[in-house]
Amino acid sequence: MSFSVSTTTTSSPLSSASLLRPLSVSVMAVHIGGKHRDRLHWRLDEVKCISVTSTSSDENLTDSHFEVTVFTKTTLTLAGPHDPVHRSEKQLADFEALRAAICRAVDVTHLLSRCSFCKAIKARCAKKLNSSLEGREDRTHLTLEQFMNDILALLVPLRRSSDKRVCCGKLQCWHLLSQFLRQ
């Protein structure tokens, strides 16, 4: 009686980070003449910095408008003036809604203890933006810009990590920020 044993090797499963599709943001760009439109694609991990400037000088913060400008690594490496990839008009309520949505995303992700990413996000987003801006109307845009760039700095290493396990809170925050910039 003879038995033969055959073994098959299976390839190791791909890491969940490599299974993720890069979240792209499509933006319609109008050239100087306004005649030709191109669809520009950029991913959140290509964003180098986010600039926030005040477009209204209202003393009432809730009615203030801010322009959010996105610069990517490729636009910042070009010589000459840096053209932004995308601009959008936001109100303070939009920033507060983003902060609250990010807090909610990391709160519902973990039952007992948070991962290091969710701890860092929760620490950054714990305080409401409205309360941190009171009495600082002239520096509001700088505070909002710092908030956006802090969130971006926490999110960008997500795409570079080779961890097999990716926290759902990271993915939700990634989606929330890219959706905020897209609108």
Query: Counting beta carbons within 10 angstroms of the beta carbon of residue 23, is it exposed (0 to 12), middle (13 to 18) or buried (19 or more)?
Result: middle
Nearest partner of 90 among 177, 1, 2, 3, judged by Cα: 177
- Cα–Cα dist 40/31, whole Å: 12
Helix (H) or strand (E) holding 76: helix 73-77
The values of phi and psi at residue 41, to 5°, are -115, 130
Question: Chain-wide mean pLDDT for the chain?
Answer: 67
Does the structure show a pLDDT above 50 at 161? Answer: yes
Burial of 73-103, coded b for 16+ CB within 10 Å and e otherwise, reads eebeeeeeebeebbeeebebebbbebbebbb
Query: Counting beta carbons within 10 angstroms of the beta carbon of residue 129, is it exposed (0 to 12), middle (13 to 18) or buried (19 or more)?
Result: buried
- Tens digits of per-residue pLDDT, 104-149? 998 888 878 888 888 888 888 887 776 656 555 667 778 888 888 8
Residue 129 DSSP code: H
Domain parsing of the chain, residue ranges: 21-182
Task: Give Cβ neighbours of residue 168 (< 8 Å, ≥ 6 apart).
Answer: 109
- Tens digits of per-residue pLDDT, 49-71? 777 777 766 555 556 677 777 77
182 vs 63, higher pLDDT: 182
